[in-house]
Chain A
Amino acid sequence: MSVVNLVDGEDAPLLTRPYFEHGDPGPIVAALAQVPELLEVALPFISAVLGASSIDLRTKELVILRTSVRLECRYCVQSHTPVALDSGVSRAEVDALRGRESCAAAFADPRARALVDWVDALAGGVGTVDASLTATMQECFQEHEIVELALLVGATMMLNRFCTGLELPTAPATLERLASEGFE
């Protein structure tokens, strides 16, 4: 049960109806539909930042899942665990991102390890990021990629707090998938 009423298709405000045309759009849209003018700008932004871009989906899901774990967002961790698996993040890597295993052991690729450490600093800390972590990121990623990844961390943190604050429910199909994969 979420904190706010999740708008359904029948009660969807006029500007939000395109988002309901193909069935249940999920609780983030259903909550944002309470404020149509925000949904109209927020969803394209979220889609652009979290969706397909010049950075591969595996890398993006790695960032989203790790950020969500650091922010302890139940909804986002549950929702993005299957997405990460489907995007090429291995089971061992997902376990590590979720804190079950050591990330240092799970990620052999130094680029991925640098990214996880940087995400931990950005999403899990306050103030400036350690200079050595930033320097390693600059060695591993191009500038435009760092820009995009920083925005991805920030947008995910925003969604983490949004979903946590509103206590959005995880889709039953996602919960079934998690159970079948041995996740909580």
Chain B
Amino acid sequence: MSEIAEAVRDGVLPGRVWMYSNYHCNLACVYCITDSAPGVARRELPRERMLGIAYEALALGFTALGVTGGEPFLQSWMPGLVAELSEILPVVALSNATLFTGERLEAMRVLSGRRAQVQVSLDRPDPEANDGHRARENFRKVVEAIPRLIDRGVGVRLASTVDEQDAEEREELCALHRSLGIADEDHIVRPIVHRGRAAQHDMGQPATSDNLEPELTITADGAFWSPFGPSVQDGRLDLDLLVTRTTAPLETPARALLRLVEGRPPGDDARRNIR
């Protein structure tokens, strides 16, 4: 068993490897950590590279995959790729769910019955409050898209990103997701993170390696400590949670991440290759 597999088995490293498929998005949410919007630099991971990462992750002993962005489903090939990834490891793909109409919606049928879930963002039960942070008509589009996805056999979970939410509003939100067909265990509530555009708006909680899980995250710019790591401000990538620029082989950043987690000195992760 590899050192990484042991670390995952023992809970030293989380089992999921995240991939940033792209940074561009059809929305421009006020708290977006990656400063994503329609016109930004795409920073795409090629489809074949994402498949390669999945195979390497499996071989190293990771147990799950995550795909995030940007809006991953702006890539027309994303449903097919997620289906392929789910053949390798269970996968969750994040989406704002505002694109799932017409052909894009029908293309999601490929995920039916697979080890794949689409994690949809919806923050608040009040359309006006929700749309104020995300986009006009966002609430309507999302509550329409969720049942359509479920009808087509797609596993859906819901993520709500909020700074504060009282019990009454939380219960209202939960009643809504239950009515849309999403069970309580598939609803995640997470805080706004003070990075990227959220930091520009002085929103959210600080996020550092001290309070973020060390989830190996691969982007076109390198490997990061967490999917909250590769944030962008004013078009410039934050480096404070960068682990390595090298992402292939995946073993390089995985070992560096493990070394950071275990507080080991440089070189301790190197193979003994003196001949």
Which residues of A does B touch, CB under 8 Å? 5, 7, 10-15, 33-38, 40-41, 44
Contacts and interface: CB of A to CB of B under 8 A. Distances in A.
Contacts of A12: 239-240
Nearest to B236: A5
26 contacts: A5-B236, A7-B239, A10-B240, A11-B239, A11-B240, A13-B239, A13-B241, A13-B242, A14-B209, A14-B241, A14-B242, A15-B243, A15-B256, A15-B260, A15-B266, A33-B239, A34-B239, A35-B244, A36-B244, A36-B256, A37-B246, A37-B256, A40-B266, A41-B266, A41-B267, A44-B266
A30 to B, nearest CB: 11
A34 to B, nearest CB: 7
B26 interface: no
Interface residues of B, number: 17
Interface string B169-181: 0000000000000
Given A14-B209, A15-B256, A37 B245 contact: yes
B238 interface: yes
Contact of A14 (B243, B245, B252): B243
A91 to B, nearest CB: 39
Q: Which of A10, A36, A41 has the most CB of B within 10 A?
A: A36
Contacts of A37: 244-246, 252, 256
B228 interface: no
Contacts of B209: 14
Contacts of B225: 14
A66 B241 CA distance: 40
A38 B267 CA distance: 12
A35 B209 CA distance: 18
Interface in B226-242: 236, 238-242
A10 B181 CA distance: 44
Contacts of B245: 34-38
Contacts of B243: 13-15, 36
A2 to B, nearest CB: 15
Contacts of A7: 239
Contacts of A40: 266-267
B238 A11 contact: yes
Nearest to B209: A14
B180 to A, nearest CB: 39
